[in-house]
Amino acid sequence: MELTSTIFGGKKLIYNGYIYIKDKDSNHSTYWRCEKRGLCNSRMITSRINGFVKKSPLNHNHQPDFASVEAVKTIEAIKLRSTLTEEVTSSVTQNATSSISIAATVKLPTKECLSKIVRRKRKLSDIDFYESIHTTRG
C-alpha cells in the first residue's frame, strides 16, 4: 500500500496493482474509490489512525494495471527530484523515464507535460508563503 498525490493535490492509494482515489473522510476511516470510477464500482476503507485496511476492496471488473501504477510512481519521482535538485528540466525527466517499461511509458504524459510538471513544482517550491502573508495595521 502506497500513497501518492493527484494532479490537483488530492490523494491516491496504490494497492495490489489498483489505483484508488480518496473519496471522503469520516471520524476514523478514509473511503477510497477505484480510479476507473465510471467502469468499476470497487471501493475500500482504511483506518485514519494507522492506515490499515478496514474493508478490503470488492471485486474489480478489470485487471490490475501495473503500467499505470509504474507511471504514477514515475511522475511522483519526477516531482520529488525537481524540488530537490537543480538539474536541467530535461535531465530530470529523462533520468526518471529511462528505466521504466515500455508499457508504463505509454501511460505517461508527453515530454512537454512532464517538463511543465517540473517547472510548476520548482515554481511552487520557490514561493515563500510566510513572507507574502503577514498582518498589517491600517
Confidence of residue 31 (pLDDT cuts 50, 70, 90): very high
Structure-block grid coordinates of residue 82: 525537481
Residue 120 falls inside a structural domain: yes
The answer on pLDDT for 2 being more than 70 is yes
The mean pLDDT of 108-117, rounded to a whole number, is 92
Question: What is the per-residue pLDDT for 135?
Answer: 62
Domain with 83, as residue range(s), is 66-129
The answer on pLDDT for 104 being more than 70 is yes
Coil, strand, or helix at residue 43? strand
Closest by CA to 79, choosing from 35, 122, 19, is 122
What tens digit of pLDDT does each residue of 50-73 get? 878 888 887 888 998 899 999 999
Question: What is the per-residue pLDDT for 4?
Answer: 84
Contacts of the segment 39-45: beta carbons below 8 A, 24+ positions apart: 42/18, 44/13, 44/15, 44/20
Coil, strand, or helix at residue 59? coil
Structure-block grid coordinates of residue 114: 512532464
Question: What is the per-residue pLDDT for 124?
Answer: 76
Residue 44 falls inside a structural domain: yes
Give 136's DSSP letter: -
Compute the distance between CA of residue 89 and CA of residue 48 in angstroms, rounded to an integer: 36
Q: Which residue has the cell 511552487?
A: 124
Total tally of structural domains belonging to the chain: 2
CATH number at residue 19: 2.20.25.240
Confidence of residue 138 (pLDDT cuts 50, 70, 90): low
Residue 61 falls inside a structural domain: no
Residue 109 falls inside a structural domain: yes
The mean pLDDT of 24-35, rounded to a whole number, is 90
Looking at the structure, tell me whether residues 12 and 35 fall in a common domain. Answer: yes
